[in-house]
Structure 1
Amino acid sequence: LAMATMDIIQYAGGAPANFLDVGGGANEQQVRQGFEIILSDSHVRAVLINIFGGIMRCDIVASGVVAAARSLGIKVPVVVRLEGTNMELGHKILRESGLNFTVAAGMKDAAEKVVALARASETAPPPP
């Protein structure tokens, strides 16, 4: 999924800075650590979380994303695409968090949204 995600971002006109595969058994802390790793790269203009939850439950990923966003004060746009186990619960967690996530309906939608947001963040003034 990671390589397909990078390919579709390129197809949408973007240039992935990097990728991180949290694997099938990740917990909230590992998702948070993944954010820390990705955001340590100053070239990252937006983050796309693309999950097909078979083994990995979408609600666990969503909880980790919310916890990371709250504790790290993420200043770049975050696009989230969840498909699979507990997807509806994952979407609910994101919606009810009060944080500004962009939820995508599929891989193409996610890629188009993250590329547009990354381009917009390149021209925006730096966050305070």
Structure 2
Amino acid sequence: MVNGAGLAMATMDIIQYKGGSPANFLDVGGGANETQVQKAFELLNSDDKVQCILVNIFGGIMRCDVIATGIINAAQEIGIKKPLVIRPQGTNVEAARKLIEGCGFRMILAEDLEDAAEKAVGLAAIVKQAEAIKVGLQFEGLGL
């Protein structure tokens, strides 16, 4: 059985395995509300070390669609400026995928944790390269 700490470690480990380096980490427990999710995104969005945000949703206690709604609302409220990769897994995963796909923001869905890590590390590398050569970068739907 994997608990929250085990899932967190697995997420950070696979990011490193795929060549990335976790800049920040946040574990939002089952009792999280929309305000807390928004605050988390504000922190991640403002951290210069964060080049891509990977959201690894494990909807056991919290339903995936509820978490997806919180992410979408936070993105609309604060204006996410970083590429966002979301890996939903668990209760109401298909409803969450539909919400994310239809939200109007470019949020990249991943099939599993390995796919999510590959996408997040790849996007972070693109952002880092663009910053190094001082080239503006725009991700569709993110308003960059």
TM-score (norm 1): 0.94
Letter in 1 for 2:62: M
Indicate whether 1:81 and 2:87 are aligned: yes
Could you tell me how far apart the structure 2 residues matched to 1:49 and 1:126 are?
A: 24
> Aligned Cα RMSD in Å?
1.2
2:16 to 10, 16, 20: 10
User: What is the aligned partner in structure 2 of residue 64 from structure 1?
Assistant: 70
1:26-65, Cα deviation, whole Å (9 max, x unpaired): 1222111111122231110000000111001111111111
User: Aligned residues, how many?
Assistant: 128
User: What is the aligned partner in structure 2 of residue 30 from structure 1?
Assistant: 36
TM-score (norm 2): 0.84
1:50-98, Cα deviation, whole Å (9 max, x unpaired): 0111001111111111111111111110000000011111111101101
User: Is this contact kept in 2: 1:82–1:91, CA < 8 A?
Assistant: yes
* Displaced runs of 4 or more, over 6 A: none
Structure 1 stretch 27-36 or stretch 2-11: which is displaced more? 27-36
Ranges in structure 2 where 5+ consecutive residues have no aligned partner: 1-6, 138-143
1:52 to 39, 49, 58: 58
User: What is the aligned partner in structure 2 of residue 102 from structure 1?
Assistant: 108
Identity of aligned residues (%): 55
Indicate whether 1:20 and 2:57 are aligned: no
Could you tell me how far apart the structure 1 residues matched to 2:136 and 2:47 are?
A: 15
User: What is the aligned partner in structure 2 of residue 92 from structure 1?
Assistant: 98
Letter in 1 for 2:109: V
Question: Which structure would you say has the larger RCO, counting Cα contacts within 8 Å and 6 or more residues apart?
Answer: 1
User: What is the aligned partner in structure 2 of residue 43 from structure 1?
Assistant: 49
If you compute each CA radius of gyration, which structure gives the higher value, 1 or 2?
2
User: Is this contact kept in 1: 2:65–2:96, CA < 8 A?
Assistant: yes
